[in-house]
Amino acid sequence: MSMKDWILLGVLLVAALWWWLRQRRRKIQGGKVGSVHKKAVQLLEAAGYEVLKATPTVNVRMEIDGQPYPFAIKSDLLVKRGGRLFVAHVRKEAKAIRLHSKVWRERLLRDALVFRVSGVVMIHVEKEKVQEVCFHL
């Protein structure tokens, strides 16, 4: 392959990557960040995250025997750090939770897969603690 071919291939790969990233973000709807999660936003920003959207939503359509059943999956915030996207859950209760328990594992994995993000960030407002959960499949 000549140098022109390599350059053309590189331009096509960059264009495909750009298109894929735009499509990925378009599927996640959400609003502007207001004062609802003010303390959580402060904790996230102190930990180096950039808050992109409040209440990110992905609309899903399920079919059972050809009958459509639309529904939405929501989270609290969509955040970014180091070029990676995360959904964030805001916990206002002081009650301790075990993120490695079956219930939380399944919920966090579901959100990571549905929102197509690198992981899930848990914000414990009362404890002023931020935890990042990543899955490797």
> Which domains does the chain possess?
29-134 (3.90.320.10)
Does the structure show a pLDDT above 90 at 38? no
Dist. CA 125–CA 42, nearest whole Å:
10
Does the structure show a pLDDT above 70 at 103? yes
The pLDDT score that the predictor gives to residue 87 is: 95
Dist. CA 63–CA 109, nearest whole Å:
22
Does the structure show a pLDDT above 60 at 110? yes
pLDDT tens per residue across span 78-102:
999 999 999 999 988 777 788 888 8
CA-based end-to-end distance of the chain: 36
* Average pLDDT of the segment spanning 105-117: 92
Specify whether the CB–CB gap between 123 and 44 falls below 8 A: yes
Does the structure show a pLDDT above 90 at 19? no
Tokens of 32: 């502007």
* Average pLDDT of the segment spanning 13-24: 72
Does the structure show a pLDDT above 60 at 112? yes
What radius of gyration, in Å, describes the C-alpha atoms of the chain?
A: 18
**pTM, rounded to two decimals:** 0.71
- Which residue is it, tokens 């328990």? 101
Other C-beta atoms lying within 10 Å of the C-beta of residue 69: 9
Task: Name the pLDDT band for 29 (thresholds 50, 70, 90).
Answer: low
